[in-house]
C-alpha cells in the first residue's frame, strides 16, 4: 500500500459487522494509513464493531443513533476533544421498515416515509454540518447510495426516493461546503450481501440479476468500494465533488438485460 491516507483522520459511521460496506471502506482507508474513529448503533452492534476497530488499530468508538441529536452532539464533541480537527467522514447509514421494502411503492406510509428519509437522507446533512466545523483545512465527506434512486428497482420503494433525495443533498452540500475545500460525494455500489441489503424484498434475485447482466458480469466487492472511498478521501480526489460514482460492474449503462446468445 502507498500510504495515501497517512496523516488523515476520520469517522466511519455505519459498521454493523464485517460484511458492512462501511467496514470495507474502513479497512481500505486504514490500509492506506488513515486513523479511524467508528460510530455504531447500540450496544449489540458495538460488541461486533469493537474487535473490527481494534484490528485496524482504533479504540475510538462512539454509540450514535442519527435520529438522536444528543448522541450526535456527544460524538462530534468526542471527536473535537480527542482530535481537534478531522479530514474525512463516511456515512453508510440507511433504514426503512422492512415491511415497506416489498410489494407496491404506492402503499408507502407517511410514518415510514418520514422515518426513512430522516435516517437515510437528513442524517447526512446533519453530520456534514457537524463535521465541517472540524475541517478548517478542508476535507472529504462520503455517503452511500444505490441506482434505485433514478431507476425503478422492484421492492426498493421508499428507499429509492430516499436515495434520490440523498444524491440531491450531496450536490447541495458540495456547493455549500466547496468554498471551505470540503468535498462531498456519493458512492453507488450494486447490490451487496449485507444486513441492510437482505432487508429488501427479492435481494437474492437482484444480486444474481446484476451479476449476470452487468458489463463486467460481476457485483461490486467491499475492496472495490473501499478503493473508491480511498480515492475520494485522499488528495487524488482533490477536484471531485458533488459526484455519484457507480461501483456496480457497469450495470447502470444497460438499456435492457443481456440476450441469451451474448
Binding residues (CB under 6 A) for ligand NAD: these are 14-16, 20-22, 41, 45, 64-67, 92-95, 119, 144-146, 189, 191-192, 194-197
**Is the separation of the CB atoms in 185 and 10 below 8 Å?**
no
Shortest spacing between CB 181 and ligand NAD, in angstroms: 25
Shortest spacing between CB 190 and ligand NAD, in angstroms: 7
Which is closer to ligand NAD, CB of 138 or CB of 211?
Answer: 211
Which is closer to ligand NAD, CB of 85 or CB of 109?
Answer: 109
Q: What is the DSSP string of 140-172?
A: EEEEE--GGGTS--TTTTHHHHHHHHHHHHHHH
Task: Indicate the angle between helix axes 123-132 and 69-83, nearest 10 degrees.
Answer: 30
Shortest spacing between CB 232 and ligand NAD, in angstroms: 15
The Cα 101–Cα 195 span in angstroms is 13
For 47, residues 6+ apart whose C-beta sits below 8 A from its C-beta are none
For 206, residues 6+ apart whose C-beta sits below 8 A from its C-beta are 153, 154, 155, 191, 200
Which is closer to ligand NAD, CB of 64 or CB of 173?
Answer: 64
Catalytic residue among 146, 172, 231, 251: 146
Which is closer to ligand NAD, CB of 177 or CB of 229?
Answer: 229
Which is closer to ligand NAD, CB of 27 or CB of 94?
Answer: 94
146 annotated active-site: yes
Shortest spacing between CB 200 and ligand NAD, in angstroms: 7
* 183 strand-pairing partners: 140
The Cα 106–Cα 123 span in angstroms is 25
Three cell numbers at 228? 473508491
Shortest spacing between CB 255 and ligand NAD, in angstroms: 21
Three cell numbers at 75? 460524538
* Coil, strand or helix at 6: coil
**Is the separation of the CB atoms in 6 and 32 below 8 Å?**
yes
Indicate the residue whose CB is closest to ligand NAD: 197
Catalytic residue among 40, 122, 156, 231: 156
Residues carrying an active site annotation:
146, 156
Amino acid at each position: 500500500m502507498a500510504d495515501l491516507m497517512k496523516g488523515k483522520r476520520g469517522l466511519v459511521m455505519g459498521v454493523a459487522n464485517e460484511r458492512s460496506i462501511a467496514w470495507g471502506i474502513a479497512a481500505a482507508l486504514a490500509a492506506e494509513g488513515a486513523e479511524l474513529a467508528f460510530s455504531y448503533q447500540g450496544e449489540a452492534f458495538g460488541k461486533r464493531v469493537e474487535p473490527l476497530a481494534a484490528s485496524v488499530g482504533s479504540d475510538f468508538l462512539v454509540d450514535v443513533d442519527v435520529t438522536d441529536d444528543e448522541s450526535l452532539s456527544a460524538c462530534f464533541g468526542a471527536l473535537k476533544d480527542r482530535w481537534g480537527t478531522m479530514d474525512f467522514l463516511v456515512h453508510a447509514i440507511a433504514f426503512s421498515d422492512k415491511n415497506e421494502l416489498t410489494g407496491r411503492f404506492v402503499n408507502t406510509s407517511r410514518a415510514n416515509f418520514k422515518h426513512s428519509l430522516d435516517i437515510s437522507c437528513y442524517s447526512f446533512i446533519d453530520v456534514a454540518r457537524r463535521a465541517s466545523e472540524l475541517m478548517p483545512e478542508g476535507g472529504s465527506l462520503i455517503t452511500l447510495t444505490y441506482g434505485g434512486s433514478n431507476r425503478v428497482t422492484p421492492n426498493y420503494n421508499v428507499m429509492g426516493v430516499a436515495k434520490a433525495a440523498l444524491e440531491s443533498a450531496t450536490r447541495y452540500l458540495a456547493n455549500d461546503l466547496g468554498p471551505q475545500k470540503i468535498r462531498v460525494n456519493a458512492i453507488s455500489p450494486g447490490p451487496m450481501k449485507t444486513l441492510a441489503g437482505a432487508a429488501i424484498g427479492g435481494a437474492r434475485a437482484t444480486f444474481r440479476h446484476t451479476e449476470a447482466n452487468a458489463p463486467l458480469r460481476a457485483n461490486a466487492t467491499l475492496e472495490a468500494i473501499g478503493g473508491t472511498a480511498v480515492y475520494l478521501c485522499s488528495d487524488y480526489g482533490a477536484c471531485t465533488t458533488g459526484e455519484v460514482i457507480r461501483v456496480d460492474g457497469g450495470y447502470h449503462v444497460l438499456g435492457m438485460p443481456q440476450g441469451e446468445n451474448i
